[in-house]
Structure 1
Amino acid sequence: MHLQDAGNFRELGLGSDEAPSIVEARGKIPEAERSQIGRYLATGTVFAVSSGTLSDWFTGEKNIAPHHSQTDGVWHWRADLPYYVLRYGVALPDAFLQRMRDLNWKCPVLSQRELLAFVERF
């Protein structure tokens, strides 16, 4: 199974020139859904950790999130994605949003076995 990326905005250095723009994605998530999405993203299983912290691309504010990646077993994203959804309402892929809705906004917790299988696929 191919893992799907969310929040790989080209300005953050995560994708090619064809990747979505964080500037264009801003304000696309309605206020009413932001907290549910942010909570889902924030509770994803951590699978990769780097040293340091991430900064806000728009303002330069430092230490908005640790520098690690999270997953729900199907999608993966950087730890700053909940921040960008909550603060700026950045768009996410429709299929990812539908998965969150289907799971009633509760991010699956991966077992150690599932996490190891995930890391091997990544």
Structure 2
Amino acid sequence: MKIADFFQELWPQSFGSPAGSLKDFLAASPYQDDQKIAEYLLAGHDIYSVMGSSEDVLGSGKTILGGDSIYTDGEWLWRGDLWFYVRTHHVKLPEEFLAQIRESNYAVPAENEPQLIEIAKYVQKNL
């Protein structure tokens, strides 16, 4: 399973070795299509839902509703607050993930229930 926002501040070690600190993946400027990317992230299939909010780990003082939830498009996983980090802090995403988002014309693939069940089992095992 690929994790789009695999930063040490956001995921438990049980998922493997993170790409590094979120602070190391900040861009000076936003993606030109950051709004569409954020919409894609918000439209993902909900795999693990958490009520409540998470604090911005980069210190803005803002909280993100459902930030600890986990979403997928069937290939990638990401947290519910990733859209916030992309829009607010210009977090860089993996190029392979960005290419997939853009190639799909910013539309999350339709649900594949057996696949989503397997992804949910993977997430539950590692939380």
Alignment TM-score, normalising by the size of structure 2: 0.79
Q: Distance in 1 between matches of 2:33 and 2:116?
A: 28
Q: Deviations over 1:18-51 (max 9, x none)?
A: 5232112112663412111111101101011234
Q: Which residue number in structure 2 is paired with residue 19 of structure 1?
A: 19
Q: Which residue number in structure 2 is paired with residue 47 of structure 1?
A: 47
2:66 paired with 1:68: no
Question: Is 109-118 or 39-48 further displaced after alignment?
Answer: 109-118
The CA deviation at 1:14 is 3.9
User: RMSD of the TM alignment (CA)?
Assistant: 2.3
Q: Assess, with a 3 A threshold, how the Cα gap between structure 1 residues 117 and 14 changes in structure 2: closer, same or farther.
A: closer
Gaps of 5+ in 1: none
**Identity, % of aligned pairs?**
28
Dislocated runs of 4+, deviation >6 Å:
none
Gaps of 5+ in 2: none
Residues 1-122 of structure 1 aligned to structure 2 (within 5 Å): 3-15=1-13, 19-27=19-27, 30-59=30-59, 61-66=61-66, 67-120=68-121, 122=123
Tell whether the 8 Å contact from 2:55 to 2:64 is kept in structure 1 after alignment: yes
